[in-house]
Amino acid sequence: MRIDILTVLPDLLTSWFGDSIIERARTKGLVQIEVHDLRKWSSDKHRRVDDYPFGGGAGMVMQVEPIHKAIESLKSERAYEEVIYLSPDGAMLDQSLANQLSTNKNMILLCGHYKGIDERVREHLITREVSIGNYVLTGGELAAAVLSDAVIRLLPGVIGDETSALSDSFQDGLVAPPDYTRPAEYMGWKVPDILLSGHQARIDAWRSQQALERTRERRPGLLGPADEGEVG
């Protein structure tokens, strides 16, 4: 997979992609991440990529021209399944969307800044808009990093134990059940006996029950009507 990120603040993303699992994925050639300074495509002598909005109002708006030039430049080198704009009014990023995007070969992520971007970019150049939550950030860089992380960890070979990703929260529409590790007792705090029993079928049933109960308590909006009754 290749991810190209267009931003006016490329340095913000350097540390995020230079460590941990994502860096190992890059080193192994499982993903290529290229961060591009949008100012490279500015025709302004001061490399500006924003201007005042027509009709007045506070804030500055990112211009259509440098964004269009940047996207067309990248598209001249390869085909992209998605050109994604990180926007607070986009579709909410969830595990299902991350799973879907992980099947792509090439994606462009556009990070908004200032008051936003010229609407013509959204009308003519963007294939999908994605939000990471009902709040506003100073720019789309953190959102692009979150989206990239959620997608990259699903690629085959990125996580050592690939079955681990399949048991993550939200993969089955539920939050994950509680986990424990050694020691089995610490300061009188004990691991549930079922997890020490060695009966895998019973353990799996307990985990399923715990996931459903925890989802009902903490994230009831994830449950459909059929899941809202008592746990069997």
Share of the chain above pLDDT 90, in %: 78
Domain final position from 152, 181, 201:
152
Residues 35 and 82 in one domain: yes
For the beta carbon of residue 23, count every other beta carbon within 10 angstroms: 13
Residues 97 and 133 in one domain: yes
Name the 3-class secondary structure at 107.
Answer: strand
- Domain membership of residue 70 (yes or no) is yes
Task: Give the CA distances from residue 86 to residues 89, 90, 128, 185, in Å, rounded to whole numbers and listed in that order.
Answer: 9, 7, 9, 45
Residues 143 and 182 in one domain: no
Exposure of 219 in the CB half-sphere (CA atoms within 13 A): 13
What is the C-alpha to C-alpha distance for residues 223 and 148, in angstroms, rounded to an integer?
A: 27
Domain final position from 152, 182, 215:
152
Q: What is the pLDDT of residue 230?
A: 46
Tell me the per-residue pLDDT of 46-81, one tens digit each, with 9 for 90 and over.
999 999 999 988 899 999 999 999 999 999 999 999
What is the C-alpha to C-alpha distance for residues 72 and 209, in angstroms, rounded to an integer?
A: 50
Residues 131 and 221 in one domain: no
Residues 104 and 218 in one domain: no
- Domain membership of residue 159 (yes or no) is no
What is the domain extent for residue 29? Answer: 2-152
Residues 213 and 145 in one domain: no
CATH of the domain at 46: 3.40.1280.10
Residues 99 and 201 in one domain: no
- Which pair of structure tokens corresponds to residue 11? 């340095």
User: What's the sign of the alpha-carbon dihedral 130, 14, 27, 78?
Assistant: positive
Residues 97 and 42 in one domain: yes
- Tally of residues, the chain: 232
Residues 27 and 140 in one domain: yes
- Domain membership of residue 105 (yes or no) is yes
Tell me the per-residue pLDDT of 170-212, one tens digit each, with 9 for 90 and over.
566 898 899 999 999 999 999 999 999 999 999 999 999 999 9
Q: What is the pLDDT of residue 222?
A: 87
Q: What is the pLDDT of residue 228?
A: 55
For the beta carbon of residue 227, count every other beta carbon within 10 angstroms: 14
Domain final position from 103, 127, 152:
152
Residues 172 and 208 in one domain: yes
Cis check: omega of the bond before 183, within 30 degrees of 0: yes
Number of domains in the chain: 2
What is the C-alpha to C-alpha distance for residues 138 and 17, in angstroms, rounded to an integer?
A: 20
- Which pair of structure tokens corresponds to residue 28? 């192994």
CATH of the domain at 193: 1.10.1270.20
The pTM for the full model equals 0.84
Q: At what angle do helices 20-27 and 141-152 cross, to 10 degrees?
A: 60
